[in-house]
Structure 1
Amino acid sequence: MALPPLHSIRVFESVARLGNMAAAAVELHVTTGAVSQQIKALQGSLGVELFEKRGRHLVLTDTGRALQQRVAGALGEIHEAVQAVQSSAKQAPEEIELTLSLPPVEGVTWLATPLFRFMEESRAVKLKVIKATQFNQVDWRKADVAVIYGTPPWPGFWWRLLHGIRMIPVCSPQFLRGSLAIRNAEDLARHRLLHEDNGAQWQHWLAEAGYSGTVASDVYFEDFGMVLQAARDGFGVALSDEIVSARDLDEGRLVQPLSLSVPAVHNYYCVCTEGKRERPEVMAFIDWLMSTTQ
């Protein structure tokens, strides 16, 4: 039996190690579709299934795991052999440099863990992260891809919905007890409403809750991280997302006093210029970003 093309073996090793075709595509500097075709061709030539889908991840089958162990060892030996040959004029492997613009970290905590894992495992990719709160603050001279909390259209740019969110009220556990306990929407009138927009999101939530009264006061913060910190410290009630505030809710720093959730006025989008979208490594990285929310 003829050996499969060595390129497909290299693609298999990358996907097996990273557990994600999009991440492998970024590392190999090709499109996700090209990676998928190589894996299909390899499985076809061998007549076996090497991966199975579990949630957002690809998992090796028993056959795939056995092949991966042999392939990883063989590629390691090849790498050592090449290094030995080039020892007199050693060259660093070509790096792919990408710059990602993100909102303040409090708004994208749901992305932090997979992003750090990607930077740790994708050895050929040098990822730089910069910060921008709004679309018009993104430095597109530097950014290849941006995660933006807002509402399109953005003329001259390509975008895709990354994470559609639903907003829930969150507050300090102290607001579940005592004379100021929050048991229904009317009880919110006795508390400060914390927000990072012009109040539209709270107005939307209150309307969906059927509340038509007025609130005693509200407080505006430009930084969503300050909104959540004020809520943790008992200075008012914020609107957040179950994913964004998952850790705070799990560890008891914040609680959800009322069950109603409503669609957010804005959502998180993955955005890049039309020109940057032509680069295979950029589209592969976008595919990986999208895979983190599926």
Structure 2
Amino acid sequence: MALPPLHSFRVFESVARLGSLAAAAVELHVTTGAVSQQVKALQASLGVELFEKRGRQRVLTASGRELQKRVASAMGEITEAVQALQSGIRQEERVAISLSIPPAEGVEWLTRPLLRFMEESSSVRVSVITAPGMPQVDWRRADIAVIYGTPPWPGFWWSLLHGIRMTPVCSPQYLRGPRAIHEVADLARHRLLHEDDGSQWQQWLSEAGFGRGGAEDIHFEDFGMVLQAARDGFGVALSDETVSARDLDEGRLVRPLPISVPAVHNYYCICPEATRERPEIRAFIEWLLSIGE
């Protein structure tokens, strides 16, 4: 039996290690489609399924785990042999990508997979800078940015990364006692916490069929302060279930009402039109979009 092309084993090892076709595409500097075709061709040649899909992740089957163990070992030996031969010669440079993201609070859904990618990828070095909005992005340093806002942005390419649906979140204490929140009208007894001029709460209240929010509302410029105030019981905030997933899972925040509405702003992946022509940038954008699906 003839062996499949060795390159297909390299692609397989990258997908197995990173758990994602898109992440492997970034590391290999090719498109996600090219990685998918290589994996399919390898599976067809071997006559076994190597992966199964669980949510957004590619998980190895029993056959895949056995092959990955041997391929990773073989590739490690090949790498060591090449490095020994090239002793004293400059090693292959890692591709560098600079990503601008909003301050960490509110983008934990992005930072966790990003940190895993930075840890696992062997040929791509991602540096992260922060900017709260489009006007603050330093495009002299950033190749790509994740922006919380609303297009258009002339001269830039963009794509929706994560569409947000806003729902009230608050401290668990707001579910108990005489001022507990059981229906929309109960919000009138509590402060509403804003990260904008009040537009988002106004939209939510309008769609919920209620015209008045809480007394003595508080406005912040920073979304992180909004969420911290909600955790500490100073009022009710609006957040997205994905954005606040960890707080909700660990009980620091709860959803007192089931109503959610589309956000005024959303998260977008954006870069200069010319920058997007670089193969590694296209591949990294595909990986980013796969996170937001």
CA distance in 2, matches of 1:200, 1:264: 10
Structure 1 letter corresponding to 2:149: G
SS where residue 107 of structure 1 aligns?
coil
Confirm whether residue 140 of structure 1 aligns to residue 132 of structure 2. no
CA contact (8 A) 2:51 2:59 kept: yes
SS where residue 125 of structure 2 aligns?
strand
Q: Which moved more, 1:144-153 or 1:244-253?
A: 244-253
Structure 2 letter corresponding to 1:193: L
How does 1:51-62 map onto structure 2 within 5 Å? 51-62=51-62
Confirm whether residue 248 of structure 1 aligns to residue 247 of structure 2. yes
CA distance in 2, matches of 1:256, 1:21: 34
Q: Which residue of 1 aligns with 2:81?
A: 81
User: Could you tell me how far 1:175 is from its partner in structure 2?
Assistant: 2.1
Query: Structure 1 2/251 Cα, relative in aligned 2: closer, same or farther at 3 Å?
Result: closer
What does the per-residue CA deviation read over 1:194-214, in whole Å, with 9 as the maximum and x for residues that have no partner? 111111100011111111235
CA distance in 1, matches of 2:229, 2:249: 18
What does the per-residue CA deviation read over 1:95-138, in whole Å, with 9 as the maximum and x for residues that have no partner? 11111111111110111221111111012111111111111211
SS where residue 155 of structure 1 aligns?
coil
Aligned length in residues: 293
SS where residue 72 of structure 2 aligns?
helix
Q: Which residue of 2 aligns with 1:176?
A: 175
Structure 2 letter corresponding to 1:260: I
Structure 2 letter corresponding to 1:273: P
Q: Which residue of 2 aligns with 1:108?
A: 107
User: Could you tell me how far 1:186 is from its partner in structure 2?
Assistant: 2.1
**RMSD (Å) for aligned C-alpha atoms:** 1.7
Confirm whether residue 287 of structure 1 aligns to residue 283 of structure 2. no
CA distance in 2, matches of 1:16, 1:213: 53
How does 1:192-211 map onto structure 2 within 5 Å? 192-211=191-210
Q: Which moved more, 1:11-20 or 1:249-258?
A: 249-258
User: Could you tell me how far 1:291 is from its partner in structure 2?
Assistant: 1.7
Query: Structure 1 60/172 Cα, relative in aligned 2: closer, same or farther at 3 Å?
Result: closer
TM score, norm. by length of structure 1: 0.93
CA distance in 1, matches of 2:105, 2:268: 16
Structure 1 letter corresponding to 2:249: D
Q: Which residue of 2 aligns with 1:213?
A: 212
Q: Which runs of 5+ in 1 are unaligned?
A: none
Q: Which residue of 2 aligns with 1:16?
A: 16
Structure 1 letter corresponding to 2:11: V
Structure 1 letter corresponding to 2:44: G
Query: Structure 1 215/51 Cα, relative in aligned 2: closer, same or farther at 3 Å?
Result: closer
CA distance in 2, matches of 1:121, 1:8: 19
Query: Structure 1 258/214 Cα, relative in aligned 2: closer, same or farther at 3 Å?
Result: closer
User: Could you tell me how far 1:176 is from its partner in structure 2?
Assistant: 2.2
What does the per-residue CA deviation read over 1:39-85, in whole Å, with 9 as the maximum and x for residues that have no partner? 23333333433322222111223333332222212111111111222
Q: Which residue of 2 aligns with 1:267?
A: 266
CA distance in 2, matches of 1:61, 1:256: 37
CA contact (8 A) 2:191 2:234 kept: yes
SS where residue 243 of structure 2 aligns?
coil
Q: Which residue of 2 aligns with 1:154?
A: 153
TM score, norm. by length of structure 2: 0.93
Structure 2 letter corresponding to 1:72: A
CA contact (8 A) 2:22 2:32 kept: yes
User: Could you tell me how far 1:90 is from its partner in structure 2?
Assistant: 4.2
CA distance in 2, matches of 1:146, 1:250: 28
Query: Structure 1 44/181 Cα, relative in aligned 2: closer, same or farther at 3 Å?
Result: closer
Structure 1 letter corresponding to 2:53: K
SS where residue 34 of structure 1 aligns?
helix
CA distance in 1, matches of 2:45, 2:237: 56
SS where residue 240 of structure 1 aligns?
strand
Structure 2 letter corresponding to 1:63: S
Structure 1 letter corresponding to 2:290: S
Q: Which runs of 5+ in 2 are unaligned?
A: none
Taking every aligned residue pair, what percent have the same amino acid on both sides? 73
What does the per-residue CA deviation read over 1:241-293, in whole Å, with 9 as the maximum and x for residues that have no partner? 11111222222222222221111111111111111111111111111112223
